Structure 1
Amino acid sequence: MSKFVFIYLISIFSLGMSGCRTKAVYSNPVINYSLPDPSIIQAPDGYFYLYATEDIPNIPIHKSKNLIDWELTGTVFSKQTRPTFEPRGGLWAPDINIINGKYILYYSMSVWGKEWTCGIGVAVADTPSGPFTDKRMLFRSNTIGVQNSIDPFYIEDNGRKYLFWGSFRGIYGIELEDDGLALKKGSEKVQIAGTAYEGTYIHKHDGFYYLFASIGSCCEGVNSTYTTVVGRSKDLFGPYVNKKGESMMNNHHEILISANERFVGTGHNSEIVQDKKGQDWLFYHAIDKDNPHGRVLMLNKVKWKNEWPVVNYSSQSRIEKPYF
């Protein structure tokens, strides 16, 4: 074998090995401007649609086909169609769903610190990009008797529809009418978790209900202590417990995502979504200490170990992308 042929073969082999090692990767944050409290849904058009607290006025809508590359496509409301039940209130923590073929978005409306006048409303659209029509305020704190009634989350279970909500005054749930636009007549609220939590999300996996929530301070810049936690139950309405069997009603839980050397304030996660390999992914927001200009959008894979979710939330800059 000549020296030139040998060098050629070595070069081809090296390129092949390099190609085997090459993976499509991304870096957090996936959106590097403030986009707190994300909620996501996949529509029949193949796009994922993501909604967030209105650091962009009137609740921004983004879309993506791969969970990484996002385009801002509009807002849920305009200045003219914006809800008004809480004057000068902000629109926080939207929760998007498909109910009976309609896109139903629950939202909080609140003035910071006005914990007895804030409340939860609902809007409806035929498509995920809108236009959304505001339907009604479902309730306020002072009408339902739960202080700081924000952060809605909708779930269907055994053919019935429920809304969960709450922020550091207990997490509560209540049944809805079949269209999802009103509280079910005669239904009563039920408390399922204690006063450490907000940002409720419940996910059913292998026979358990997993209650994801956030603890700590969300909005103090690099001093934020927001942390994502989880407990689980065999029943939708609990009791939710940690690995030791201690109850979330008494503010016990497992830590899922917390601060690292770069990102702090890691909380208020989205729904879990799956890629084409069946891998689970979770959005949440955080504050980037390298560029602390808002609560940026983060994405990490969720793995399941011994029937509990695990998230690798290190500050690594090269993460294998979801598969689509």
Structure 2
Amino acid sequence: MTVRRPLAALAAAALLALLPNTAQAAASYPDPQPITGQQIIHDPTVIKLRDGRYVAYSTGGVIGARVSKDRKQWDDAGNAFATPPSWWYEYNDTGDPWAPDISYRAGTYWLYYAVSSWGTNHSAIGVATSPSGLPGTWTDHGKVFTSDTTDTWNAIDPGLVRADGRLWMSFGSYWTGIRMVELDPRTGKARTDAPVHHLATRPDAPYAVEGPAVVKHGRYYYLLASYDACCSGVNSTYKIRVGRSTSVTGPYTDRDGTPLLEGGGTLLLAGHGRFIGTGGETVFRDKGRDVLAYHYYDAEDAGTPKLGLNELSWGRDGWPRVL
């Protein structure tokens, strides 16, 4: 028995490595990498700064911030802003921001975020810039893109990506799903004549897909999105699905060829064990690797939302896998 068990485990692991991503995901999901310090977070966006540190921003506070030297120990670093910009109060009574996205280009850090209120698409995406990316150094530049109750989309959950020398922003939550607009790289705001592209949706109301992140790998653009319900602690059903396209504006299809505009989406990461409702994801580069940042609800800590980090690998067929 002491010999047969290890051999059986090795054989199972070898077989698992040969299975398609969908089969492997169905068999098991990896736990997030161990971290210490301030772990509580929701809708994280993470970047490695030019000074070698990491910063994570999130929903909560005035865009809550955490800083790390090694991606393992995370310390509370206050908020991106000391007080909410006055225009935020047009969208909720408390000036509460949601779902930030941080990026770096042209010598400047750019922080996109949403302001809205629960259950309405009277929403706006704003942008701020900083020379260092650290909390307390951001200058707000107002609205990037808005939606209202007459629109069929919801201007929250921004995600930036560059494609063929142009700058794009994916966004969306419910209200027919994920959309994309082109931005002016000089201002960081939506082009006035920019059409709104449709990337993903579900076949039935309430069209529960949101929180997009678009990643370029090889000749494909990969659209990651959170499906089903968040924000209910251990009752959350969030999960991350993915599709890909050779064009940043789509059409995106999943591994089986089903269009994401027809409810498709290959399962990348779902809740398991204590790690419930995995979603609110972004992707950042670190040491030449793609790293998935997301939140989960800790079933062993009363459903508290916490930071999940896992590296992504890319199979020979080009599809991502969570390590």
The separation in 2 between residues aligned to 1:96 and 1:43, in whole angstroms, is: 11
The separation in 1 between residues aligned to 2:179 and 2:145, in whole angstroms, is: 13
- Percent identity, aligned pairs only, is 34
Q: How does 1:295-310 map to 2 (within 5 A)?
A: 295-305=305-315, 306-310=317-321
Pair 1:272–1:79, CA change in 2 (3 A):
closer
The separation in 2 between residues aligned to 1:175 and 1:156, in whole angstroms, is: 10
Pair 1:242–1:74, CA change in 2 (3 A):
same
Q: Do residues 93 (structure 1) and 99 (structure 2) align?
A: yes
Give the residue type in structure 2 aligned to 1:132: W
Pair 1:201–1:80, CA change in 2 (3 A):
closer
**What is the count of residue pairs matched by the alignment?**
283
Q: How does 1:108-147 map to 2 (within 5 A)?
A: 108-113=114-119, 115-129=120-134, 130-142=136-148, 145-147=151-153
Residues 70-97 of structure 1, C-alpha deviation per residue, up to 9 Å, x if partnerless? 1222311112646333232421100111
CA RMSD of aligned residues (A): 2.2
Give the residue type in structure 1 aligned to 2:132: T
Q: What's the counterpart of residue 189 of structure 2?
A: 182
Q: How does 1:143-222 map to 2 (within 5 A)?
A: 145-169=151-175, 170-194=177-201, 195-222=207-234
| Secondary structure of residue in 1 paired with 2:148 | helix
Q: How far 1:139 moved relative to its partner?
A: 2.8
Does the aligned pair in 1 maintain the 2:47–2:284 contact within 8 Å? no
Q: What's the counterpart of residue 77 of structure 1?
A: 81
Q: How far 1:143 moved relative to its partner?
A: 8.2
The separation in 1 between residues aligned to 2:303 and 2:187, in whole angstroms, is: 36
Does the aligned pair in 1 maintain the 2:147–2:153 contact within 8 Å? yes
Pair 1:144–1:93, CA change in 2 (3 A):
farther
Does the aligned pair in 2 maintain the 1:135–1:181 contact within 8 Å? no
Q: What TM-score comes out, normalization by structure 2 length? A: 0.81
Q: Which has the larger radius of gyration?
A: 1
Q: Do residues 311 (structure 1) and 318 (structure 2) align?
A: no
Does the aligned pair in 2 maintain the 1:33–1:294 contact within 8 Å? no
Residues 24-59 of structure 1, C-alpha deviation per residue, up to 9 Å, x if partnerless? xx95465664301111122211112111111xx101
| Secondary structure of residue in 2 paired with 1:49 | strand
Q: What's the counterpart of residue 286 of structure 2?
A: 274
The separation in 2 between residues aligned to 1:296 and 1:215, in whole angstroms, is: 18
Pair 1:80–1:200, CA change in 2 (3 A):
closer
Pair 1:143–1:102, CA change in 2 (3 A):
farther
- Structure 2: any 5+ residue segments left out of the alignment? 1-31, 202-206
Q: How far 1:181 moved relative to its partner?
A: 2.9
